[in-house]
Amino acid sequence: MNTNNSRIRVEVKELPQPKVKVRLITPPFSLVGRKVKVKVVLQNETNSTYPSEENRFLLLDVYTTRVGANKIIIPPLSIGKFHPPFKLKPNEKRAFVFTLKFDVPGIYRIHARVREVRLLESRGTPKWERPPMVSTLERNLVLAGSGWQTTLEPVGAVKEDRKVLRCMSVYEVLMILGALGAIISAIFSALLYFTRQ
């Protein structure tokens, strides 16, 4: 019996990542309903303005996912906070601050992503203070708000940094403080007991 084993070779090319370093800085915990600020630090790794092409920019967004929550099948494109598209000067290091708020206690993953985009179309005056609605049209990103819409074409891959933050209720904080107080009290009681012996 003749068996023909044909092999198919597939070449996988990696998409180029933005030539920037990404660092996300967050506090270790926050309280439910309180605003918390997170910082994203980007550094241009090139000796020229980046991106150098006239109609190309960097797009930075921050979004959160709660550990243990129902999995989202569709990527979280419409729940993030975006910074207006921008360029970095040669070797520039720039910090961006985003304000987040958590309404449910839990452990959250905070994601900061940066990607290079090509500006295809812009209608109206973008208002970036409010999170825009984001949708995909073929492979393009469409960001829209009240009276404006911007269409961007992603160029290459996404660069990302993630951190974990615990959001606690006031009750949980009081419980932890009470437990710490009990431990400290027990230690001091033991020290007093042994010093009197």
The pLDDT tens digits for 105-148 are 888 999 999 999 999 988 988 887 777 788 777 788 888 888 89
Cβ neighbour number for residue 103 with a 10 Å cutoff: 7
The pLDDT tens digits for 26-73 are 998 888 888 999 999 999 999 999 999 988 999 999 988 888 766 544
Question: Hey, where are the domains in the chain?
Answer: 20-124+152-169
Q: Tell me the whole-structure pTM to 2 decimals.
A: 0.74
CA distances 32 to 110, 165, 181, Å, are 16, 12, 23
CA distances 100 to 25, 27, 40, 121, Å, are 13, 12, 13, 29
The yes/no answer on whether domain 20-124+152-169 falls in CATH 2.60.40.10 is yes
Contact 63, 100 (CB under 8 A): no
